[in-house]
A = this chain, B = another copy of it.
Amino acid sequence: MINNQDLNERSLYLLKTLVERYIHDGQPVGSRVLSKDPKLNLSPATIRNVMADLEDMGLIHSPHTSAGRVPTVSGYRLFVNSLLTVKPLESSELDQFQSSLLADTDEPGDVLGKASRLLSDVTKMAGVVTLPRRETVVLRHIEFLPMSNTRVLVIFVTDGQEVHNKIIHTDRLYSPAELQQAANYLNAVYAGRSLAKIRDLILKDMEGDRNKVNQGMIDAVNMAQLTFSQKPKDDYVLSGETNLMGFSELSDMERLKQLFEAFSQKRGVIHLLDQCLLVEGVQIFIGEESGYQAFDHCSLVTSSYSINDEVVGVLGVIGPTRMAYEKIIPFVDVTAKLLSAALNSK
């Protein structure tokens, strides 16, 4: 990868203005327009020489002979890493964002939806928020309700205002009283622990079963096992996808279709977002960097969010590679912090 040591000040400044210019008006930028930059103060010919160098280094390229230059992925990368001057948010905006996140709803877990909508509304691109990873999330309360036959509805509430519903099949018919008892037991023993931890405990408890006197406890642990054994498929809340249909760089129907299919498949996107869980702060994938073909012409700006200082999820913005990074980055950063704050159990 090329870093800013390899280039002199002038070339870097030229690249910077070129990228800014391109982001601003979407046209390939030629030597003439750049020569008008007061700080550059060079003739078009000189600028052409510099641009030729930048092109040799793979930072820019021209779509065709007479068309000015466009940043490549490496060009964007260098720009974002070293040249970007981020625009901090106004504090009034910040207040506004915060209040829109905290606005009351009657739907549990809707903060995530709100965050997603906030991301897409403000950026006019697509917003995405992963649901908190169940692994690290803490169990608050569990409840069993009998359904038909041996089917039992499990309801459990976790930190982060989330309610989960799941149907399990028990080995025999349980009475409502038995179910209640099992729930009581589990609430007493497991509440307040992370689901990963609980899964460990279940295993231990099941081994120790033979020694236990109380059949009710064994039943309870069995049910817990049924509930928590498989790793749940993670999920996310997406919004503003339709905004993406307005961008000319995504106007190719075939490509757009692939992108939307990736969105509804969820698998790939989740996998991509999961990579951001490990990283502190804002992370950016530009174009092909993501490794997912569907995202080839998109950029993804993400940040992780947490509940009670434990990182549990990722949020971000998806848009065309040509996006206003200097605004998007601080915005994603702030939104992640606001969401974390909103989810903290007070």
User: Residues of A at under 8 Å CB distance from B?
Assistant: 104-108, 141, 143, 145, 147-148, 153, 155, 157, 161, 163, 165-169, 239, 241-242, 245-246, 251, 253, 256-257, 260-261, 264, 345-346
Partner of A166, one of B107, B161, B165, B261: B107
List, in ascending order, chain B residues with CB within 8 A of A161's CB.
147
Q: Would you call B157 and A145 a contact (CB within 8 A)?
A: yes
Q: Would you call A108 and B242 a contact (CB within 8 A)?
A: no
Give how many copies assemble into the complex.
2
A224 vs chain B, min Cβ distance (A): 14
Q: Would you call A143 and B166 a contact (CB within 8 A)?
A: no
Q: Would you call B245 and A264 a contact (CB within 8 A)?
A: no
Q: Would you call A257 and B246 a contact (CB within 8 A)?
A: yes
A57 vs chain B, min Cβ distance (A): 35
A105 vs chain B, min Cβ distance (A): 7
A264-B241 contact, Cβ under 8 Å, with A106-B166, A153-B157: yes
A278 vs chain B, min Cβ distance (A): 29
New A-B pairs, 18, CB < 8 Å, besides A106-B167, A108-B165: A107-B165, A107-B167, A108-B166, A108-B167, A143-B143, A143-B145, A143-B155, A153-B157, A155-B155, A165-B165, A241-B260, A241-B264, A242-B257, A242-B260, A242-B264, A245-B253, A245-B256, A246-B257
By secondary structure, the A interface counts as mixed
A230 vs chain B, min Cβ distance (A): 8
In the complex, what distance in Å separates the CA atom of A92 from the CA atom of B222?
A: 39
A21 vs chain B, min Cβ distance (A): 26
Partner of A260, one of B104, B245, B261: B245
In the complex, what distance in Å separates the CA atom of A242 from the CA atom of B244?
A: 14
9 shortest interchain CB distances as A-B pairs: A245-B257, A163-B165, A242-B260, A242-B261, A106-B166, A106-B167, A108-B165, A108-B167, A155-B155
A145-B141 contact, Cβ under 8 Å, with A105-B167, A106-B168, A245-B256: yes
List, in ascending order, chain B residues with CB within 8 A of A345's CB.
148
List, in ascending order, chain B residues with CB within 8 A of A168's CB.
106
User: Which B-chain residue is minimally distant from A155 (CB atoms)?
Assistant: B155
5 pairs from A and B in contact (CB 8 Å cutoff): A107-B165, A108-B167, A145-B157, A147-B157, A242-B260
